[in-house]
Chain A
Amino acid sequence: MNPTVDALRATFGNAIGRGLESCGDTIVYVARESLLDAMTWLRDTPQQGYDYLVDVTAVEYRDRERPLELVYQLRSLPRGAELRVKVELDPRGDLTVDSIVPLWRGADWLERETFDMFGVTFRGHPDLRRILMWETYAEGYPLRKDFPLRGRFSRAEQVRQALAANPADMRERLRRGERGKLPHSE
């Protein structure tokens, strides 16, 4: 077990849920409200030094009772240590967490992908648009378990909407400034 888990629990107390070890990787559950604080602490505390965000993704399990999990994979490049931080969300409830883009700029597209596929809203993200599906995609969030494999609309409607979502128009929308502001851009 990675000693970081005990250090986290000493610092944040009840906000840290269970910690477990799976296939040699340490997983620690963090309460949604404390995510940003815990991540800041993990990055900025010298003994921890998790300076590299490997991935942000989410998992929804087939078991409807299990919560949807947000997964953050961290790595400390100087120490060579890995830590997986998870946040549990109710898939039928409010799917909002704090964005960690202020900590790692690389989280930008990762959070956009998680938003696109799972519908998780990242509070404070500078530019939370869809990234894999086109921006006006209206069928929902494809990797959610309640999403039908072939999508919600008929094939003809899907073709019609796809043909109408012309990338050139999207570029025009960007040019008009319909886009969030990047952090540190002022």
Chain B
Amino acid sequence: MKRVIETKAVSGQSPNYLLAKFQDLVDWAVNSSRANSLWPMPFGTACCAIEFMATAASRYDFARFGMERQAFSPRQADVLICAGRLPFKLAPVIRRIYDQMPQPKWVISMGACASTGGIFDNYAMVQGIDTIVPVDVYVPGCPPRPEGLLYGVLLLHKKIKGESLFDRVPRRAEQPLDERGLRLPPEQIDEISEPFGNSVHQFRSA
């Protein structure tokens, strides 16, 4: 009886209704598979990497969230976790690692330094890895506690589960560097690299 009623309800909708339901089902299956088996590529450069290791170890254990296998090769990785500050000398390195990762791929910027340059507002440090690679989740903290990173991972799960294979946005296209060799327009890089916080009294011309 119930079944009949449902069929009636369906037939009353637009012809795309069944297709949309089917697409939802496919999205749910694909996104759940992706979100629940993320393979992280750890790019640990500083104290955040210690917290990352704590997150991976038995007490916090992000294998509970499907990150069982850490991929120390970018070619078998889904998530690039930049844990720690990124000096300019490592900028081409992380860019190449990101380019080598297969789609779909995501990036977690772990800690204040990876997200903004942190206290290192100096000549040697990238002021946020989003000037080099696109970032999906920023985890604040100096360094973030393992709970913080886990929360970031769960946010990434949520983000992945909100994606759809069927919208027309070319979300999963590779974004190579432009002809200037930059990911963003120079004005934008300058803007997001502006001094802030306790470094506002220092100027480039000083």
Contacts and interface: CB of A to CB of B under 8 A. Distances in A.
B121 A160 contact: no
Interface of B: 88-89, 91-93, 95-96, 121-124, 126-127, 131-132, 177, 180-182, 186-187, 189-190, 193, 195, 202, 204-206
B190 A162 contact: no
Given A148-B204, A149-B121, A160-B180, 13 more contacts: A132-B89, A133-B124, A134-B88, A139-B123, A147-B123, A150-B123, A150-B202, A155-B189, A159-B91, A162-B89, A163-B91, A163-B95, A165-B89
A156 B132 CA distance: 10
B91 to A, nearest CB: 4
A164 interface: yes
A142 B186 contact: no
Contacts of A159: 88, 91, 126, 131-132, 182, 189
A183 interface: no
5 contacts: A148-B206, A159-B131, A159-B132, A163-B95, A163-B177
Contacts of A134: 88-89
Q: Which has the most chain B C-beta neighbours within 10 Å: A133, A162, A167? A: A162
A132 B121 CA distance: 18
A149 B119 CA distance: 13
A165 B96 CA distance: 12
A156 B190 contact: yes
Contacts of B181: 160, 163-164
A156 B182 contact: yes
Interface string A163-175: 1111110000000
Contact of A156 (B89, B96, B189): B189
A38 B182 CA distance: 51
A158 interface: yes
A132 B186 CA distance: 25
Given A155-B190, A156-B189, A156-B190, A150 B204 contact: yes
Contacts of A164: 92, 181
Contact of A157 (B92, B95, B186): B186
A133 B123 CA distance: 10
Nearest to A170: B92
Contacts of B187: 156
B124 A142 contact: yes
B189 A142 contact: no
A95 B186 CA distance: 36
B179 to A, nearest CB: 11
B168 to A, nearest CB: 31
